[in-house]
Homo-oligomer: A and B are copies of this chain.
Amino acid sequence: MTQTHLIAVDWGTSRFRAYRLDAAGAVLERVAAEDGMASVPPGGFAGVLERHCGAWMREAPAAPVLMAGMVGSRNGWAEAAYAVCPASPASVAASLLAVTERVSIVPGVIARGPGGPDVMRGEETLVFGADVADGLVCLPGTHSKWARVEAGAIADFATFMTGESYALYRNQSLLGRLAVEPEDLTGFDDGLEAARAPGGVLNRLFQARARVLDGVMDGPAVGPYLSGLLIGTEIEGALQRFGAADTVTLVADGVLAQRYVAALRSRGIVIEIVTPENAFLAGLSALAEARA
Point out residues on A near B: beta carbons under 8 Å: 110, 112, 115-119, 143, 158-162, 164-165, 168-169, 172-174, 194, 197-203, 205-207, 209-211, 213-214, 216, 230, 233-234, 236-238, 240-241
A32 CB, min distance to chain B CBs, angstroms: 24
Question: B residues within 8 A CB of A162?
Answer: 202
Q: What B residues does A241 contact at CB under 8 A?
A: 198-200, 203
With a CB–CB cut-off of 8 A, which chain B residues contact A165?
A: 202, 205
A109 to B161, CA, bound (A): 33
Which of A173, A202, A206, A236 has its CB near the most chain B CB atoms (within 10 A)? A202
Given contacts A116-B216, A214-B112, contact A237 B206 (CB under 8 A): no
A119/B213 contact (C-beta < 8 A), A165-B205, A168-B169, A172-B172 known: yes
CB–CB A234/B200 < 8 A: yes
Closest 10 CB pairs of A and B: A200-B237, A117-B214, A160-B202, A159-B206, A199-B241, A161-B205, A117-B210, A168-B168, A118-B210, A161-B206
In the bound complex, CA of A237 to CA of B206 (Å): 13
The answer, among B158, B164, B200, B234, for a CB contact under 8 Å with A233, is: B200
Which among B115, B194, B211 is the interface contact of A117 at CB below 8 angstroms?
Answer: B211
- A143 and B211 contacting across the interface, CB-CB below 8 Å: no
A109 CB, min distance to chain B CBs, angstroms: 11
B199 in contact with A173 (CB, 8 Å): no
Residues of chain B lying within 8 A (CB to CB) of residue A230: 202
Q: In the complex, are the beta carbons of B115 and A197 less than 8 A apart?
A: yes
B-chain residues with CB within 8 Å of residue A213 when the two chains form the complex: 117, 119
Taking the closest CB of chain B, its distance from the CB of A17, in whole angstroms, is 22
A206 touches B118 (CB 8 A): yes
